[in-house]
A and B are shown apart, each in its own frame.
Chain A
Amino acid sequence: MNSASDLLAALGRYTRFCLSATRAVPFLNVREMLHQAYVMGVGSLVVLLAVGAFSGAMLTVQGFASLRAFGTSELLGMFIALGGVREVFPLIGAGCVGAKVGSAVASEVATLKIGQQIDALEVMAVDPMRFLVAPRLVACIVVTPLLVGACLLAGLVSSYLIATLQLGVDQGVFVSRLLENISLRDLVSALVKALGFGMLTGTLACWHGYAADAGAASVGQASNRTVVQAMVTGGVLNLFVSNVFYGGLL
């Protein structure tokens, strides 16, 4: 980005694109949306489960080491609830959705753009926003909370297994500390974050794909920009939502 005016112009284009996509949502092709949701969900589930499990394990090992130094290792369940459920699992899950789903959607739309299939839709009097963009956007918004939820569950299960089987923490203590520190507010916060991540990933992926010009390089660029921007804006969104729910903002 060369200057602030370029950034503002890009933001303007993105906003216009989002408005067009939103206007197309009531007319979206439902069958295509379900197909996309299936492809996104099934195609990303294993990755999200694996990343969630490893994150949970990592968080548990680090948390246990830190808490043991203060003689409070029985608070491990609370640590996982506060750090994992509120922040780490949703953020890591969102990053994975941005990388896996966002890059796939961006490269697919960009390939359709440079292959003239989007022009073909226009000439056949089929609105690409309704046929192509809205189904992917809605699918992304629907699937992201499910995938983030799967990531969260995998993180909790792996955390429980590592804590009890490897680190020797008492099962009852771990589970009770965990459950008594997960509130409805935590779950609502995670859901809001996931919906926001889904919205950001879906709109950024379709926008960058749609903006692809000629050449195979633009497919890679669309994919790359989507992942980078989804992660950065996802981080900003995560901070904002955390501040709203826990920091007294608003």
Chain B
Amino acid sequence: MTLDAPLVELVGVTKRFGDQRVLDDVSMALPAGLTTVVVGPSGTGKSTLIKLLVGLLKPDAGRVLVGGEDVGAMDRAALMKMRRRFGMLFQDGALFHGMSVGENVAFPLHHHLKLSRDEEKSRVETALAQVGLPGLADRRPDQLSGGQRKRVGLARALVMQPQIVLFDEPTSGLDPVTSAAIDDLIVTTRKQLGLTFIVITHDVQSCAAIADRVGMLFEGKLQLFGPAQDVLRSDHPVVRQFFDRASNGPIRVV
């Protein structure tokens, strides 16, 4: 896959929940090997978008393409196969509390690869070292801080060596210093591994720190999408209000 070629593409995607149109004719091509950040106010369809990418939801109209294959048209077996191209960091890590950190990270390995115990352990240790948490494999998730849980979630997302890593609000609920550390981790990990990262967030500082491409969602529509420096400097009223953190503008606080 060459740089800038779309690995993930949305073509005219619409998603409704009842009468509410959460995503409305959204089209965007997310290039391989870069970090694309989709920003927007809460309730504007960001989480829906990420769920559409991995087939947790199906679009009411339009197509979601991963590597050229239509996710919405896949049967269950094809969907499960396609998902192995993804890793995902959930908002609160979504770790299994009955398992240790090491067991959590080893979970996808254990289910999909027949590795020896030593090989599995080594892969887990490498993944934990990659996210800056070496030697924490025996801890329980409830013994970790919010930032550490996210790092473990990222280690679990990376351990299967996916092509695409999704991040659902990676800095939400974290203090500014920990948020900055997570941002640094995202930047360095992507550079080291050369993967495709797709991040949804409403953290404007985080977006500025990690994004190669930025898409701005508002009221279900993609307002603007392009290289980060262009979007961040744009005069688009929605984008400006959002990145300037202004209370007056087209975005109304409900």
A117 within 8 A of B: yes
In chain A, residues 100-126, which have Cβ atoms closer than 8 Å to a Cβ of chain B? Answer: 115-117, 119-120, 122-126
How many B residues, CB 8 Å from partner? 23
Contact indicator per residue, chain B 104-132, by CB within 8 Å of chain A (1) or not (0): 00011001100000000000000000000
B90 touches A124 (CB 8 A): no
A108 and B221 CA atoms in complex are apart in Å by 37
**In the assembled complex, A127 has its CB within 8 A of some CB on chain B:** yes
Which of the residues A120, A127, A131 comes within 8 Å of B80, measured between beta carbons?
Answer: A127
B88 close to chain A: CB less than 8 A: yes
Given A124-B107, A124-B108: A119 touches B94 (CB 8 Å cut-off): yes
Residue B83 lies at the interface, judged by CB distance under 8 Å to chain A = yes
B56 touches A119 (CB 8 A): yes
B86 and A123 contacting across the interface, CB-CB below 8 Å: yes
| 76-100 of chain B: CB within 8 A of chain A | 80-81, 83-84, 86-88, 90-92, 94-96
Q: Which residues of A contact B80 (CB under 8 A)?
A: 125, 127
Cβ A116 vs Cβ B54 within 8 A: no
Mark out the residues of chain A between 172 and 187 whose CB falls within 8 Å of any chain B CB in the assembled complex.
none
Is B94 within 8 A of A125, CB to CB? no
B56-A124 in contact (CB<8A)? no
Interface SS of B by simple majority:
mixed
**Chain A residues, Cβ within 8 Å of B56:** 119, 122-123
Are A125 and B90 in contact, CB atoms less than 8 angstroms apart?
no
Q: Do B108 and A116 have beta carbons less than 8 Å apart?
A: no
Chain B residues with CB under 8 Å of A119's CB are: 51, 56, 90, 94
Contact B92 A115 (CB under 8 A): yes
Contacts of A125 in B (CB 8 A): 80-81, 83-84, 108, 111-112
Q: In the bound complex, how far is the Cα of B92 from the Cα of A119, in angstroms?
A: 12
B112 and A115 contacting across the interface, CB-CB below 8 Å: no
B111 / chain A contacts, CB cutoff of 8 Å: 124-126, 131
Give the docked Cα–Cα distance between A131 and B80 (Å). 14
- A115-B94 CB under 8 A given contacts A123-B54, A124-B108, A126-B108: yes
Contact with A along B25-57 (1 / 0, CB 8 A): 000000000000000000000000001001010
Q: Which residues of A197-214 are within 8 A (CB) of B?
A: none
User: What residues on A are CB-neighbors of B94 within 8 Å?
Assistant: 115-117, 119-120
Please encode chain A, from 127 to 140, with 1 for each CB lying within 8 Å of some chain B CB and 0 for all others: 10001000000000
What are 18 A-to-B residue pairs whose CB atoms are below 8 Å? A115-B92, A119-B51, A119-B90, A120-B90, A122-B54, A122-B56, A123-B54, A123-B86, A123-B88, A124-B107, A124-B108, A124-B111, A124-B156, A125-B80, A125-B83, A125-B111, A126-B108, A127-B80
Given A124-B160, A125-B81, 7 more A-B residue pairs with CB atoms under 8 Å apart are A115-B94, A116-B92, A120-B94, A122-B54, A124-B156, A125-B108, A131-B111
| B-binding residues in A (CB < 8 A) | 115-117, 119-120, 122-127, 131
In the complex, the 3 A-B pairs of residues with the closest C-beta atoms, listed nearest first: A120-B94, A116-B94, A125-B83
